[in-house]
């Protein structure tokens, strides 16, 4: 009796649940006939109350996926099964998208392809952080690729007037603005030039931006290092290590390292010291030679 009342209560709840879907079904999901087949006491007269599940032969309809996933013997809603409609719809809509995304991730994007091509054309070209690029001289053939990367501004440290003007002209044809801050790699930059550079780097409207000189190593290197220290909080040693990764000529351009360490120390980096006596003597000796060399303007490139 107790088992019969339990079955009746469960059956009533299932029937009420099924009727809530109204027009979506042609008959209730659970009927009296189905419920009596699913749960009934054993007929052997014993004291056992183990329920017996009577399995009907499964039917092959659009609901077969539902029966497979959640274990129903068959779908009472048949072709109008809401579960089946959602499941099949998900497969139709999502599976092609997932496959397309899988294929797309295995193919180089147009952005990545442009970056790789520019690395072949421009010496030491690289993306420093998203929206900031660096490198050497920009040949005319590289301009369309820079446009593909969305670059809006080029900051040019090259002090060769003819070369810089020509570059500015073909960049302008593609809508790329040029900001010139010319100075010689044989000298350290003026403080006002670095401040101008940092101000340009802070202007978000100018990004994406590319910074370059002739080789993309010395002038570009020390400028990007000051930006790392000033804006990103890097220590001088960290910034100098990045300079070396782009073939910074440390033996003959030690004065640029000296400038970076002084710049960092002025901004609170107490560890920015050149402690090697031989290195300090070498830097000062070369720098004196460079000051004399500046008297010949044809060598100052």
Q: How confident is the model at residue 199 (pLDDT cuts 50, 70, 90)?
A: very high
- Contacts with 133 (C-beta within 8 Å, 6 or more apart), sequence order: 125, 126, 127, 149, 151, 208, 209, 210, 211
Q: Stretch 14-39: mean pLDDT, rounded? A: 44
Least confident of 27-41, 110-124, 184-198: 27-41
Q: For residue range 74-116, what is the model confidence (pLDDT) as tens digits? A: 555 554 455 566 656 666 666 666 665 554 554 468 899 999 9
pLDDT for 216 equals 96
Q: What's the pTM value of the predicted model, to 2 decimals?
A: 0.64
Cα 89 to its chain centre, rounded Å, is: 31
Structure-block tokens of residue 274? 């050149």
In terms of residues, how long is the chain?
A: 301
pLDDT for 205 equals 95
For β-strands 153-156 and 177-180, DSSP reports them as parallel
Q: For residue range 125-152, what is the model confidence (pLDDT) as tens digits? A: 999 999 999 999 999 999 999 999 999 9
Q: Stretch 29-38: mean pLDDT, rounded? A: 43
Q: How far apart are CA 275 and CA 259, in angstroms?
A: 14
Q: Stretch 268-280: mean pLDDT, rounded? A: 89
Q: How confident is the model at residue 292 (pLDDT cuts 50, 70, 90)?
A: confident
pLDDT for 17 equals 45
pLDDT for 60 equals 42
pLDDT > 70 fraction of the chain, expressed in percent and rounded: 62
Bigger pLDDT: 41 vs 235: 235
Q: Which domains does the chain have, with CATH numbers?
A: 110-276 (3.90.190.10)
Burial of 87 (0-12, 13-18, 19+ CB in 10 A): middle
Q: Stretch 265-282: mean pLDDT, rounded? A: 90
194 and 227 Cβ atoms separated by less than 8 Å? no
pLDDT for 289 equals 82
Looking at the predicted structure, is the pLDDT value of residue 6 above 80? no
pLDDT for 107 equals 47
Q: Stretch 244-253: mean pLDDT, rounded? A: 93
pLDDT > 90 fraction of the chain, expressed in percent and rounded: 50
């Amino acid at each position: 009796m107790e088992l019969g009342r339990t079955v009746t209560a469960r059956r009533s709840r299932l029937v009420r649940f099924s009727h809530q879907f109204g027009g979506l079904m042609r008959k209730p999901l659970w009927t009296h006939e189905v419920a009596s087949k699913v749960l009934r006491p054993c007929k052997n007269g014993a004291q056992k109350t183990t329920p017996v599940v009577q399995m009907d032969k499964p039917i092959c309809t659009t609901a077969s996926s539902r029966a497979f996933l959640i274990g129903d013997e068959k779908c009472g809603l048949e072709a109008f099964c809401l579960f089946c409609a959602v499941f099949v719809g998900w497969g139709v809509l999502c599976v092609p998208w997932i496959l397309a995304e899988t294929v797309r991730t295995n193919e180089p994007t147009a952005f990545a392809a442009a970056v790789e091509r520019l690395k072949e054309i421009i010496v030491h070209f690289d993306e420093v952080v998203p929206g900031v690029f660096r490198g050497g001289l920009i040949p005319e053939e590289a301009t369309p690729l820079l446009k593909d990367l969305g670059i809006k501004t080029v900051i040019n440290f090259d002090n060769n007037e003819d070369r810089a003007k020509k570059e500015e002209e073909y960049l302008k044809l593609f809508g790329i603005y040029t900001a010139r801050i010319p100075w010689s790699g044989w000298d350290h930059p003026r403080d006002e030039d670095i401040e101008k550079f940092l101000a340009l780097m802070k202007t978000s409207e100018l990004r994406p931006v590319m910074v370059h000189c002739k080789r993309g190593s010395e002038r570009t290197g020390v400028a990007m290092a000051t930006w790392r220290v000033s804006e990103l909080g890097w220590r001088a040693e960290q910034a100098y290590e990045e300079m070396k990764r782009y073939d910074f000529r440390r033996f003959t351009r030690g004065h640029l390292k000296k400038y970076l360490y002084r710049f960092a120390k002025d901004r609170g980096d107490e560890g920015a010291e050149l402690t090697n006596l031989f290195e300090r003597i070498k830097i000062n000796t070369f720098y004196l030679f460079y000051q004399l060399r500046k008297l010949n303007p044809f060598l100052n490139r």
